[in-house]
């Protein structure tokens, strides 16, 4: 018996490689846009200082590929322009960036396989999108977009509007992307294996993945609460 033969075999996830089937694209991209729009409308209705407009972007980027996720992100901003105004289109590059970081991180770098890697990737997406959104908020909206996160900017305004807008954008975007990523993970837990296996994600589709996803959502909510409660009084 050789040394290689003596090594225990390691089970690897059965991942479907290659371009996604056209039928899956036609079904999943509109679903991703709908999930983004509905989740964002819900948090706006509740007045929460997060966005949740990238849950579907995560799904499309992870299961179809980064550029399909980018398409879902752009379409989300196009649809959102009807109730929110054409200014909503200005944030399309932010949604595209989320798709590319998630898509390449999961599908090329394998950062979605482990629980910690998945969480860390969501944090990176939050930082990247928060930084990218800041110049748009400053140059186009003067630092205030009418979103509940403007309260954070106003509280920190004494440090300078640029710094206040950057901090506000990042500290709301990081928990937002953590929640969005794990909400998307929860959805994949219920998808057919043939679809869910198109990306290597924590655990196999099913109850264990769902449990991880729910735990991640709770962590994201805690991060959002801590960010708000840690602010100095305005």
Query: How high is the pLDDT of residue 12?
Result: 39
Burial-class residue 144 by CB neighbours within 10 Å (0-12, 13-18, 19+).
middle
Query: How high is the pLDDT of residue 49?
Result: 80
What CATH number belongs to 19-229?
Answer: 1.10.1760
Burial-class residue 40 by CB neighbours within 10 Å (0-12, 13-18, 19+).
buried
Query: How high is the pLDDT of residue 217?
Result: 97
Query: How high is the pLDDT of residue 141?
Result: 63
Query: How high is the pLDDT of residue 145?
Result: 56
Q: What sign has the CA pseudo-torsion 43, 155, 153, 228?
A: negative
Positions in the chain short of pLDDT 70: 1-17, 141-160, 230-234
What does the domain layout of the chain look like in residue ranges?
Answer: 19-229
Query: How high is the pLDDT of residue 5?
Result: 44
Query: How high is the pLDDT of residue 13?
Result: 46
What are φ and ψ of residue 50, in 5° steps? Answer: -135, -175
Report the C-alpha gap between 224 and 200 in whole angstroms.
Answer: 27
Report the C-alpha gap between 6 and 4 in whole angstroms.
Answer: 5
């Amino acid at each position: 018996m050789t040394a290689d033969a003596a090594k225990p075999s390691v089970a690897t996830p059965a991942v479907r490689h290659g371009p996604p089937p056209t039928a899956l694209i036609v079904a999943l991209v509109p679903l991703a846009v709908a999930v983004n729009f509905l989740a964002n409308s819900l948090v706006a209705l509740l007045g929460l200082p997060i966005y949740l407009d990238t849950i579907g972007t995560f799904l499309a980027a992870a299961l179809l590929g980064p550029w399909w996720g980018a398409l879902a992100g752009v379409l989300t901003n196009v649809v959102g322009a009807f109730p929110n105004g054409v200014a909503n289109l200005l944030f399309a590059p932010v949604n595209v960036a989320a798709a590319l970081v998630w898509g390449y991180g999961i599908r090329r770098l394998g950062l979605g396989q482990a629980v910690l890697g998945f969480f860390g990737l969501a944090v990176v997406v939050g930082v990247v999108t928060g930084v990218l959104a800041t110049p748009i908020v400053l140059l186009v909206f003067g630092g205030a977009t009418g979103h509940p996160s403007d309260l954070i900017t106003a509280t920190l305004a004494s440090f300078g509007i640029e710094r206040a807008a950057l901090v506000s954008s990042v500290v709301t975007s990081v928990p937002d992307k953590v929640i969005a990523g794990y909400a998307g993970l929860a959805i994949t837990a219920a998808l057919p294996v043939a679809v869910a296996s198109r990306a290597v994600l924590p655990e196999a589709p099913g109850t264990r993945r769902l449990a991880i996803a729910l735990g991640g959502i709770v962590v994201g909510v805690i991060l959002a609460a801590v960010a708000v409660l840690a602010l100095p009084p305005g």
